[in-house]
Amino acid sequence: MKNIIILDIYRNTDYRISKDTSGGYGTANDFGNSFFSKILKKKMKSKSDWPPLFAAYTYAVLKKQYSVSYKKIYNNSNIEKYLKNYDYYIIVSSIVCSDIELQLIRKLKRENKNIISIGPYASTCSENYLKAGSAVIKGEPELFFLKNNIEDITNIKEYINDHQTDINSLPYPPWNELIEFDDIKLYGKHKSIPILGTRGCPYSCFKYCVYPLQQGRKVRQRTPQNIFNEIMYWKKKWDVTLFIFRDPVFSINRNHTLELCNLIIQNNIKIHFVIETHLRILDDELILNLKKAGLIFVKVGIESSDSEILKKEMRYSVTNDEQLEKIKKLHENKINISAMYILGYPSDTNETILNTINYSKLLNTAYAQFSIWTPYPGTPAYKEYEKKITTDKFSDFSQYQLVYKHKNFNKKQLKNLLEVAYKKYYLRLSWIFRYGFKLY
């Protein structure tokens, strides 16, 4: 039997790096260097993390046929102990750790190892991975391995997978083998795991969003029964009570969502779950059913308070008044909210950013996430701004650094505004008294 190792390498930093966020490109939560930003970085880094879903599913698929190991490593440390024991080395790619991933590939290539890179970043920007000595699977690697044997990958080239395979056929990722399972509590006191319901996102913000690069724009769904069966598996066998849905837009199919809610409610299953969705999707009936089924936390993209800025970047949302009403309805149902904002849009000014910060305080959600607009490689935005890129390191595309020449800000100025946003948001009495003493 072939021995395979999936190597997931990270840089040692004082901030959290996650390869599962930003559509699998990954983010690095470097909030800045102010005293408060350092506190936030430390708190975020202490949160439990998990491998990106594409790596976890790849592990699950390969495990059915091969001997497979998964290792999370840092800065090429102790890599020598892995050099003699495996027939194939699968590298989990990301933009935020791409430099160290390429170093690892070159090191393995000098040892004449069989190397395969997977994930949205290597899939979209394969040239450097191919040059370093790795084969690249373009598209969703777990679906590729459902149809192909690893022995068929013999040359340094690209292998292409389409989006035609039914995602209901994917096995459950064995999280108990991939993370420190007994201790993982991603939200409060609940034992937690990530879970997948749908893939694909049809929304117009694909101009700068990377989700469609790997998953496509067509929405593909697991059946509600299939999702429910996985929930029951983890609850009964492993006592998991909190599920983190990693769908780009949960509830994008209203009937599909209601059917899943009904399965949970009718079977009287006591669980909680977290979703990321679009405010325009949420109506009173859907919110009520999600709450009854166990929804306790929802992430929504607000991005900017200025509708003209959003329109220029093809980001279409509900009006600010509608946002206020829907967030009020979520609050009334005791559903916590994380609102996500983007600073540094190409047409942003100091005034529009401060307006967005003030608007975030008006919404006063449990959490607010501020990041910096990033023209990711592979997106239409990158093609538009390619000649204005100010860094030669793709690992700088972390969502927390300015990487292009902005007409109104330099890198330091925008980072200062990022620090101001977090400080002004969380160091308010109205936030502290509402959430600070209640959130875990």
> What does the pLDDT look like over 45-64, one tens digit per residue?
877 678 999 999 999 999 99
pLDDT of residue 440: 45
For residues 39 and 100, state if they share a domain.
Answer: yes
What CA–CA distance (Å, rounded) separates 405 from 77? 36
For residues 335 and 408, state if they share a domain.
Answer: yes
For residues 236 and 384, state if they share a domain.
Answer: yes
pLDDT of residue 181: 65
Per the CB < 8 A criterion, the answer to whether 193 and 184 are in contact is yes
For residues 10 and 129, state if they share a domain.
Answer: yes
Domain end marker among 127, 160, 193: 160
What Rg value do the Cα atoms of the chain yield, rounded?
A: 21
Coil, strand, or helix at residue 356? helix
Domain end marker among 126, 160, 194: 160
CB-count burial class (<10 Å; 0-12, 13-18, 19+) for 206: middle
For residues 199 and 146, state if they share a domain.
Answer: no
The answer for residues whose C-beta is within 8 angstroms of residue 111's C-beta and 6 or more apart is 83
* CATH code assigned at 201: 3.20.20.70
CA-nearest of 88, 103, 40 to 395 is 103
Neighbours of 311 (CB within 10 A): 12
> Within a domain: residue 171?
no
For residues 56 and 189, state if they share a domain.
Answer: no
For residues 206 and 91, state if they share a domain.
Answer: no
CA-nearest of 41, 284, 60 to 194 is 60
pLDDT of residue 186: 59
Give CA separation, 204 vs 6, 22, 278, 317, 367, in Å.
Answer: 34, 16, 12, 10, 25
Range of the domain at 240: 185-436
What CA–CA distance (Å, rounded) separates 54 from 384? 29
**Encoded amino acid at 33, one letter:** N
CA-nearest of 60, 48, 49 to 20 is 49
> Within a domain: residue 84?
yes
CA-nearest of 117, 77, 36 to 426 is 36
The conformational region for residue 200 under phi > 0 = left, psi -120 to 50 = alpha, else beta, is left
pLDDT of residue 48: 63
Q: What is the DSSP letter of 338?
A: E
> Within a domain: residue 58?
yes
Number of H helices, E strands in the chain: 17, 16
DSSP for 132-198, written as a single string = HT-EEEES-HHHHHHHS-GGG--SSSEEE--S-S-GGGPPPP-HHHHS-GGG--SBTTB-EEEE--E
Domain end marker among 111, 144, 160: 160
For residues 81 and 46, state if they share a domain.
Answer: yes
Which tens digits make up the pLDDT trace of 355-396? Answer: 999 999 999 999 999 999 999 999 999 999 999 999 999 999
Per the CB < 8 A criterion, the answer to whether 87 and 114 are in contact is yes
For residues 139 and 216, state if they share a domain.
Answer: no
Coil, strand, or helix at residue 69? strand
Count of domains observed in the chain: 2
> Within a domain: residue 180?
no
For residues 244 and 353, state if they share a domain.
Answer: yes
For residues 393 and 334, state if they share a domain.
Answer: yes
pLDDT of residue 162: 65
Residue 304 corresponds to which tokens in the numbers above?
């900017």
For residues 394 and 318, state if they share a domain.
Answer: yes
> Within a domain: residue 166?
no
Q: Please give the chain's pLDDT, 440 residues, in tens.
A: 799 999 999 999 999 999 999 989 999 999 998 999 998 988 888 776 789 999 999 999 999 999 999 999 988 667 777 777 899 999 999 999 999 999 999 999 999 999 999 999 999 999 999 999 999 999 899 999 998 999 988 777 877 776 567 889 999 999 989 987 665 665 667 788 999 999 887 766 767 777 777 777 788 899 999 999 999 999 999 999 999 999 988 988 999 999 999 999 999 999 999 999 999 999 999 999 999 999 999 999 999 999 999 988 888 778 999 999 999 999 999 999 999 999 999 999 999 999 999 999 999 999 999 999 999 999 999 999 999 999 999 999 999 999 999 999 999 999 999 999 999 999 999 999 898 766 54
> Within a domain: residue 176?
no
* CATH code assigned at 83: 3.40.50
> Within a domain: residue 320?
yes
SS3 content of the chain, % helix, strand, coil (to 5): 45, 20, 40
